[in-house]
Structure 1
Amino acid sequence: MEKSQLVVIPSPDISHLTSTIEFSNLLINHHHRLSITILIIAAPPDATAVSFLNSISSSIRQRLQIILLPSDHSDNSSHYQKRKSIFLESTVQLTKPRVRDAVSNLTSAPGSPRLAGFIVDMFSTAMIDVADEFGVPSMVFYTSSAASLGVLLHVHTLRERDAFDTTTSSGGGDLATEIFADPVPLSVVPSFAVEEDWKTFFWNYGRGLKRAKGIIVNSFEEFESHAIRAVSDSGIHVYPVGPILGLKADSDSDKSDVIEWLDNQPPSSVIFLCFGSRGRFDEEQVREMAYAIEKSGVRFLWSLRKPPPKEGNNNDSAEFEFEDILPKGFLERTAGIGRVIGWAPQTKILAHKATGGFVSHCGWNSVLESLYFGVPIATWPLYAEQQMNAFQLVRELKMAVEICLDYNMVYNSGGNFVSAEKIEKGIRDVMREENEIREKVKKMSEICGKALTESGSSHHHLGRLIHDITKMEAHYGVFVFGAEFMLNIG
């Protein structure tokens, strides 16, 4: 059988990079006739791409060809923070010529495998234009939930038809959709989908998703069965192949003092608070969180990042003292039951038997990790699709405790204020031993593990994906998916 080559193009964002590398590794382990080249775009304001590449193990590098493509975008950090998605979109557009040249070099190399197609990140769909130039189909790797995919596609269709009233997005209102059993509050729909300022970006974003010949979702069938079915019924080829988790990288690191501290705690006794790489709160909110943690009396492990710089102050150094922003004496009073740390080895902490609950921003990777390890979440979403993830967990699936659903922090520039009473209640609720939510999460954890086995649903969909990729043929604008035919209208 002839070997097939795939070109994979992630978005230049660390959370997307990690899951894309893991997914590519999963693909090539599943099918030895695949050759995969990953073209990584380096966005100037975020140097994490380079450091992440340096951390990739040699065993993965032996299986995957990884090429770093420098961006032609100017380094405008303030623009990046205010309009990250637009910044990424323009960065992807400007990198098209580099991708075109890289793929030309790949396909012209002696003995190069046949180019079968592109797999592009959900924010890199502009690269479908390049795939079209090479006469090969493209699929999208969607790094979030099937539910958020379905809602965004639904809103895009409404806006195409001028049937969506964006004036209600800021003042309340609900959105009826087949994706959820109940109407979705517009306050939890990502702002870029409903605000007029983002209309051009969202038009291009949704159109890019609809141009793809299939969408690979980092989820699994049993967890999002209703949403996956609804998206599939709309005519989209969906491949739920998750959860795709970066577990090996964490497990290879040396044992930290944080894990040693957890070793000395009772089972399921520690609440873990962590809000992702961009989850920062102002000093007032940090103090309110500290009051709540202390009053709850629960053992805790708190990953605390430096608050965003105040207006007019550009000093955003990562170095800071916890004592400067926490209530006076907090660290001394809680020394026997808790730890405040900076960066956290999240997967190791969630995997630890002492961890009993997770106060999370509901980034999709964090949601999947909590499910995989059976740790219930208290939701505190901050931006992007995290509000919708929280809504799905709390209201639709009833598998999480609510602290809030629509905090709406906009790129670390501040947001709503959550009281200590509300935070304390969320902590107490999620840490209760006799808890229906805890039991649901535990059962879903078992199902999650089975989905990844050879007889599991995700393994099945991965095989279906590889079959479709390797069997696709482009001929006069018609692409063949096994026995099914789809007209290329992109």
Structure 2
Amino acid sequence: MTVQTCKRVVLVPMIMWGHTRPMCTLAARLVKLRSVNITMFVSGAFFERAKAEITQDFEADELHLLTNITLVPLKQSNSPFDSASYEADFLDTWAKFMEGQPLNGYTADGKAHNVEPSEKDRLSGAIVDMFAIRAFRELHGLKDRLGIKVFSWYPSAASSLFYWFGEDRIPHAVELAARKGVSFDVAAHELVVQTSGRLVESPCLPTMYDYEYRPQAAYFPPKFSGNVLIQVHRNFRDADGMITIDAADYHPRTTAAIRQWFAPRPAYYAGPLVPRALRVLPEDKGAEDVMRFMDARLQSHGAKSVILISFGSMFWPPNTEKVGAVLDVLMDKNVPFILSRCSPLSAIPDETASKLEKYGAALVSPWVPQQAVLSHPAMGWCLSHAGHNTVFECIYANVPMILWPIDADQPPNAIQLTEDLGIAYELIEVRNGAGLGPIYRTGRKPDGSIKAVQAEFRDVLGRAFGQDGEEKRVRLDALRTKLQAAWAEGGAARRDMKTFLDSL
């Protein structure tokens, strides 16, 4: 008789909720696949929400497995671009653990629980966020001593990897800093974030100008470029493999390219990581008001009438006049909508804010229970930045999208969703700064004026609520069926995660 050994895995997400949320679901899935104990570090600001997020992936007869997940809260700053205090607290906490002190945490069902120092000698592996540079290096430096494998966590659409992290730019930054007499951070920022109009070839995307990857000219601090973005490639280089939130069947061409790039090391596809239960969580403050709004709009405007506007917890369009222009069109056409303002960068013009106060078919909220809202029968479309978590949540809820990509993995996602899959519209006139340059594959050059923004959006709304939108919804439903199979028995994600655990 073979006795199955319990694996012990450490998870280290980054301070952005979009990086933490899918890792919560991954933790839940892992303990249900094999005999596994998870120790997951998490920002103290997200502790209760992370616990609730994990819980909603369990059925009643699985709740006993919540004790196999221990959450260890860490401190963090208020900026999503400043992870210094979070990683410093991780390094301090981990050093004490290595010296013989327990990790003080709580099981996912809320009970106080210490991870005893003896557990470090039975660790099997670690999954570390690509942005948690110092945490990765600490654990990677101990891998031989502890006998563990250390994997990088890629919480984005995999098609974006080659542009952002496909080459080692650190030597170029060192040379550039010396030649120009600037700091390493400034040089890294110029190489990683600033665009010049050069053409970019990719094994999984059409040829594009570099500014097409950053159509909103969003702001990143130079320190973030030097301390984080330019460092990611070397973490990928040194990792034992990668685990991504992406789904293998979402963009097969990308899946093949990523696996070839990482070979002979594995690139595992864990997505979609959408919880089973799409319900309102107790931690969702103001959620009752949001759901009452949805119920009321179902009565006043009917099914599939509401537009959810969400740019995630980290992003917001830098040109707020264009945000106002889009909201004005919705109000002029009497379209009901919810505007989520959970990003610290969120802003709207004063004039638009005044109109919103008088408009009876809109709700503005600092936090929206997005998964529950998307599954409501009044939900029609989601106007989104095309962040990968939102994309998969929309697909699972069969809600088609209107896209306003800002940065990161969002522009590649927009191409996949609009051109390859035909389940979304992309707004082009909302582009900003250098992003208003010509689009290489079409030759189109956006006008970018407020008049052009409103004209394009009116046209998109007309098509979205007409026959073309219904055809997109049919295609979306077919994609949903395909991707939902990823975690079914024999599915791609389930198979990959079993292989991952068995390799430890």
TM-score range, shorter chain: 0.7 to 0.9
**Secondary structure class of the residue paired with 1:239:** strand
Q: Aligned AA for 1:347?
A: Q
Q: 2:465 corresponds to which residue?
A: 431
Structure 2 residue 75 is matched with structure 1 residue 70: yes
1:393-404 matches, within 5 Å, as: 393-404=417-428
* Secondary structure, aligned partner of 1:434: helix
Q: 2:93 aligns to what? A: 98
Give the corresponding residue for 2:414.
Answer: 390
Is 1:144 the equivalent of 2:179?
no
- C-alpha deviations, 1:286-316, integer Å up to 9, x for none? 431232113445x32221539989xxxxxx9
Matches of 1:195 and 1:406, distance apart in 2? 23
**Superposition TM-score, scaled by structure 2 size:** 0.74
Q: Which runs of 5+ in 2 are unaligned?
A: 56-62, 103-114, 176-187, 435-447
Q: 1:240 aligns with which of 269, 282, 296?
A: 269
Q: CA deviation at 1:247?
A: 5.2
Partner of 2:327: 290
User: Which of residues 154, 164, 174 in structure 1 aligns to 2:166?
Assistant: 154
Gaps of 5+ in 1: 43-47, 310-315, 411-415, 471-490
Deviations 1:244-277 (A, max 9, x none): 1245373455863023224424333332222223
Map 1:361-440; keep pairs closer than 5 Å: 361-404=385-428, 407=431, 419-435=453-469, 436-440=471-475
CA drift at 1:458 = 1.6
Structure-1 separation of matches of 2:497 and 2:355: 53
What CA distance in whole angstroms lies between the structure 1 residues aligned with 2:153 and 2:456?
36
In terms of mean alpha carbon deviation, does 389-398 or 53-62 score higher? 53-62
Aligned to 1:49: 46
Give the deviation of 1:194 after TM superposition: 11
Letter in 2 for 1:148: S
* Residue 349 of structure 2 corresponds to residue 350 of structure 1: no
Out of 293, 305, 310, the position equivalent to 2:341 is 305
SS across alignment from 2:236: helix
Aligned partner of 2:478 in structure 1 is: 443
For the residues of structure 2 that align with 1:10 and 1:328, how far apart are their CA atoms?
A: 39
Distance 2:362 2:153 in 1: 37
Cα distance, 1:142 vs structure 2: 1.2
Helix, strand or coil: the match of 1:393? Answer: helix
Shift of 1:429: 3.0
Say whether the 8 Å CA contact 1:216–1:238 is kept in structure 2: yes
Report the residue type matching 2:400 in the other structure.
P
Q: Determine the C-alpha separation between the residues in 2 that align with 1:195 and 1:57.
A: 32
What's the secondary structure of 2:162's corresponding residue? helix
What corresponds to 1:183 in structure 2? 207
What is the root-mean-square deviation in Å for CA atoms of aligned residues? 3.9
The residue type equivalent to 2:39 in the other structure is: T
Are positions 1:275 and 2:283 aligned together?
no
Q: Deviations over 1:379-424 (max 9, x none)?
A: 11234332332233234544321113984699xxxxx875222332
CA distance in 2, matches of 1:216, 1:95: 21
Matched, 1:339 2:362: yes
Give secondary structure in 1 for the equivalent of 2:197: coil
Counterpart amino acid of 1:175?
A: V
Give yes or no for contact 1:453–1:459 (8 Å, CA) kept in 2.
Answer: yes
Contact 1:270–1:300 (8 Å) recurs in 2: yes
What residue identity is the alignment partner of 1:116? S
Q: What corresponds to 2:198 in structure 1?
A: 173
Cα distance, 1:383–1:250 mapped onto 2, change above 3 Å: farther
* 3-state SS in 1 of match to 2:249: coil
How far 1:330 moved relative to its partner? 5.7
2 CA distance for matches of 1:10 and 1:111? 20
Cα-to-partner distance string for 1:25-59 (whole Å, 9 max, x where unaligned)? 1111111x2111112245xxxxx324535756775
Cα displacement string for residues 10-36 of structure 1 (whole angstroms, at most 9, x for unaligned residues): 1122222222111111111111x2111
Question: C-alpha offsets along residues 122-181 of structure 1, whole Å, 9 cap, x if unaligned?
Answer: 21143233223234220122111111123333244798799x99599534232111122x
Q: Is the 8 A contact 2:297 2:336 kept in 1?
A: no
Give the alignment partner of residue 248 of structure 2, picking from 202, 221, 234. 221
Normalising by structure 1, we get a TM-score of 0.76
* Identity score, percent: 18
